[in-house]
């Protein structure tokens, strides 16, 4: 049987999705904006089987493939069901997936993973050229909402379907991501300081679920619209001075909400603080670099290409940093002709 392989990138959120109106359908409380990465990708191969059940394989550190945990398999099979239902098909699949970066370390592996799975399964069913809107929507319905943004390259907005603060009665249809600008519009880099490897202790799903228990969450939702405008304008005019401070405000906000949720969630490690301090020092020395974190301890340092080498070298020198991943804005998912099995 023929195979379909898709490499889908992770993304780093400039304006964060944190908190959902409907967690099952991943309908967000606020619009978010991200930059799609280039090198941090999930590769997924899907093959249609003649009969039997779905088979799910996950790459192992030695390069081979093994059976993932039951929860992972369950989420994959549920997503395959959604893709089958959307395409009006019933065949079972064999699926294998591999990340180029540490899984489940707050580097958006679920976003790239579910985007790759959705696009590869759609491709296997002959729907490779379905509208991006449908593929984004379908990826979002995996439950990892940020996967909706990983189906597009460059700078991407996933608009809030209901208007800030409105809860309930939201139609599912309008919630998909759109491209604000392609990767060639603005060459930004993301130097990722990895201070912790291994799965995060609390999933982003739990973070979304608890966000509204923070006394500061309502305030956050009030602040987001102005930040969205700033980030849209910064992208449009390639204004790093406008973008940078908003990145840090958003990141601090997300973690403050997490730390003040009930029960509280602490994603930071001592290494996180060391990197944040180093980034501030780099700025004092005149380098254009700003830090942002998703739901994990590792720090994404967004900078312009001229600053990248210096930023990477300085972060590599920090004892708390295990290693640094150099990435940047990327073109989005690609269908590949080499398969994982």
Residue (104 or 242) nearer to ligand PMV, CB: 104
Q: Is the peptide bond before 263 cis (omega within 30 degrees of 0)?
A: yes
Torsion of CA 306, 312, 314, 315, to 10 degrees: 140
Smallest gap from Cβ 290 to ligand PMV, in A, equals: 16
Query: Which contiguous run of DSSP H or E holds residue 13?
Result: strand 3-15
Q: How far apart are alpha carbons 315 and 123 in whole angstroms?
A: 40
Residue (14 or 93) nearer to ligand PMV, CB: 14
Residue (87 or 104) nearer to ligand PMV, CB: 104
CB-CB contact of 16 with 250 (8 Å): yes
Smallest gap from Cβ 92 to ligand PMV, in A, equals: 27
Residue (124 or 224) nearer to ligand PMV, CB: 224
Query: Which contiguous run of DSSP H or E holds residue 225?
Result: helix 217-237
Residue (59 or 204) nearer to ligand PMV, CB: 204
**Residues near 134 by Cβ (< 8 Å), separated by ≥ 6?**
86, 176
Smallest gap from Cβ 144 to ligand PMV, in A, equals: 4
**Residues near 338 by Cβ (< 8 Å), separated by ≥ 6?**
5
What tokens does 296 get?
A: 């994990």
Residue (31 or 59) nearer to ligand PMV, CB: 31
Smallest gap from Cβ 187 to ligand PMV, in A, equals: 22
Smallest gap from Cβ 334 to ligand PMV, in A, equals: 21
Q: How far apart are alpha carbons 133 and 19 in whole angstroms?
A: 22
Burial letters 70-96, b for 16+ CB under 10 A, else e:
eebbebbbebbeebbebbeeebbbbbb
Nearest to 196 by CA among 312, 295, 328: 295
Smallest gap from Cβ 128 to ligand PMV, in A, equals: 24
Q: How far apart are alpha carbons 167 and 162 in whole angstroms?
A: 8
Can you give the binding site for ligand PMV, defined by CB under 6 A?
A: 13, 16-18, 32, 108, 110-111, 144-146, 204-205, 208, 254, 294-295
Smallest gap from Cβ 64 to ligand PMV, in A, equals: 27
Residue (256 or 318) nearer to ligand PMV, CB: 256
């Amino acid at each position: 049987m023929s195979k379909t392989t898709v490499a889908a990138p992770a993304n780093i959120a400039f304006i964060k999705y944190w908190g959902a109106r409907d967690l099952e359908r991943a309908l967000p409380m606020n619009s978010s904006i991200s930059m799609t990465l280039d090198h941090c990708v999930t590769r997924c191969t899907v093959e249609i089987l003649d009969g039997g059940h779905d088979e799910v394989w996950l790459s192992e550190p030695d390069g081979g493939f093994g059976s993932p945990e039951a929860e992972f398999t369950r989420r994959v099979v549920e997503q395959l069901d959604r893709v089958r239902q959307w395409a009006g098909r019933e065949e079972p699949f064999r699926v294998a997936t591999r990340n180029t970066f540490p899984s489940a370390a707050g580097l958006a592996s679920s976003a790239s993973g579910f985007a790759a799975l959705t696009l590869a399964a759609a491709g296997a069913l002959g729907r490779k050229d379905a509208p991006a809107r449908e593929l984004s929507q379908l990826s979002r319905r995996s439950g990892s909402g940020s996967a909706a943004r990983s189906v597009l390259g460059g700078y991407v907005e996933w608009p809030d379907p209901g208007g800030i603060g409105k809860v309930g009665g939201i139609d599912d249809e309008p919630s998909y991501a759109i491209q604000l600008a392609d990767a060639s519009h603005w060459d930004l880099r993301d130097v990722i300081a990895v201070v912790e490897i291994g799965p995060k202790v609390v999933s982003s799903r739990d973070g979304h679920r608890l966000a509204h228990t923070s006394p500061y969450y309502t305030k956050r939702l009030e602040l987001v619209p102005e930040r969205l405008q700033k980030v849209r304008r910064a992208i449009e005019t390639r204004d790093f001075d406008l973008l940078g401070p908003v990145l840090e405000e958003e990141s601090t906000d997300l973690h403050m909400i997490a730390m003040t949720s009930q029960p509280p969630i602490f994603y930071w490690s001592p290494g996180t603080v060391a990197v944040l301090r180093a980034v501030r020092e780099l700025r004092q020395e005149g380098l254009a670099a700003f830090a942002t974190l998703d739901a994990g301890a590792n720090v994404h340092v967004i900078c312009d290409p001229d600053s990248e080498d210096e930023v990477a070298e300085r972060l590599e020198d920090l004892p708390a940093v295990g290693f640094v991943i150099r990435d940047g804005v990327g073109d989005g998912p690609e269908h590949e002709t080499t398969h994982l099995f």
